[in-house]
Amino acid sequence: MRNTLPSMGIRVPDTPQDAGERNKVASVDPSKVFGVSIHSVPPNISLPFDVSVIVADKLTRIRSAGDMLTSERLKDLNRHHVKMLYVPLDQRGTYKEFLWTQMVDPKHSIEQRTASVGQATYLQVEELYTAKDLNPVVERTVKLLKHIGQLAAGTQSFTKLAGSLSHYESPAYEHSVNVAVYAMTLFRHASETTAENVWQVGIAGLLHDLGEQAGDVKLLQFPERMTKEQFEAYKQHPRRCLEMLKGVENLPSEIANTILQHHENCDGSGFPDQLKGNQISLGARVLSICDTYENLTNPIGSQQSGLTPLEAVQLMGSVRPERFDQKLLKVLIDKL
Ligand SMILES: [Fe+2]
Ligand SMILES: [Fe+2]
């Protein structure tokens, strides 16, 4: 999850579009910015950070802190297929604070607030995967997840919510966020729990594959292509994740269990402890279904496109369905 500029093929017109811009444009060093989704920047309000775009293959600042982007200008950028705006790295903290105020501001539409949540989640996951000290990052992630839990609680279709949260270019981010949102929604429907509790399975969803990043080999999503030795190492990633989270204070044991057991199967064929049925926590049974569903519908690094939601649940229901909690699988099918 590095800050890289996307394809330089994306262009906006060489000529700036409005009077304010004419005086502001300036070249910017690409190594000193990070990309943010254009959808996370609301129109017609004063922005507390600089904004750059790629103009004719050059990163160019079009707004300084204190300026605004009008809805016409944003529409114009959209028309030119601009998906990313760039914010200086040294204004990352300001940008994050801005997102947090936007996502709870009732003046904004649900779409705008969801876009802010999506961007905030992206930055949060990036920090989870890169932080030396996970403690403060996890604490902040919990807050964010509680907020997403409330959003999910008010959303009928979890695929729609996940879709609006995941328009970024990092597959690891996308996988974590999709699994987290699916898991929170499935957990809520399956256990009739309240929005206050669904964040726990959500945070387990965001963190569940953190341990994959810690090994010597970047094994990631392709267990079927691994050598025997690689697969043995891969099987350690749930435990490795718990080791990474050791320093996090007050991490509820439900979250730790959910992460540890997310590759256990109801028929005892999973890992690391070959647990069966109710020996596996409800959160982990939920996560296992959502993880598989996400991998089938959104395969990372594969040249092939994923299965449709219907194809994915049909496959899960027909090939060794005893791996999954049948009741939960039915809820997943009903809620699609
Ligand atoms: Fe995993
Ligand atoms: Fe996963």
Q: Write the CATH number of the domain with boundaries 109-335.
A: 1.10.3210.10
Distance between Cα 71 and ligand 2 center (Å): 38
Confidence of residue 166 (pLDDT cuts 50, 70, 90): low
Q: What's the CA gap between 58 and 240, in Å, rounded? A: 42
Neighbours of ion ligand 2 (CB under 5 A): 209, 291
pLDDT > 70? residue 21: no
Cis bond upstream, residue 272 (ω within 30): yes
H/E run at residue 257: helix 253-260
Of these ranges, 1-10, 124-133, 257-266, 314-323, the one predicted with the greatest mean pLDDT is: 257-266
Distance between Cα 24 and ligand 2 center (Å): 44
Of these ranges, 13-27, 87-101, 127-141, the one predicted with the greatest mean pLDDT is: 87-101
Number of CB atoms found within 10 A of residue 289's CB? 25
- For the record, the structure tokens of 288 come out as 């296992």
Distance between Cα 175 and ligand 2 center (Å): 7
Average pLDDT in the 308-336 region? 89
Maximum CA extent, the chain: 66
For position 1, what pLDDT does the model report?
36
Distance between Cα 155 and ligand 1 center (Å): 26
Q: What's the CA gap between 247 and 261, in Å, rounded? A: 20
For position 248, what pLDDT does the model report?
81
pLDDT tens digits, 44-73: 999 999 999 988 788 999 999 999 999 999
Neighbours of ion ligand 1 (CB under 5 A): 209
* Residue 122 burial (C-beta neighbours within 10 Å; 0-12, 13-18, 19+): buried
For position 22, what pLDDT does the model report?
57
**How much of the chain exceeds pLDDT 90, in percent?**
31
pLDDT > 50? residue 2: no
Distance between Cα 60 and ligand 2 center (Å): 37
* Residue 290 burial (C-beta neighbours within 10 Å; 0-12, 13-18, 19+): buried
Average pLDDT in the 166-195 region? 75
Ligand in nearest proximity to the CA of 180: 2
pTM (two decimals): 0.70
pLDDT > 90? residue 100: no
Tell me where in the chain the CATH 1.10.3210.10 domain(s) lie. 109-335
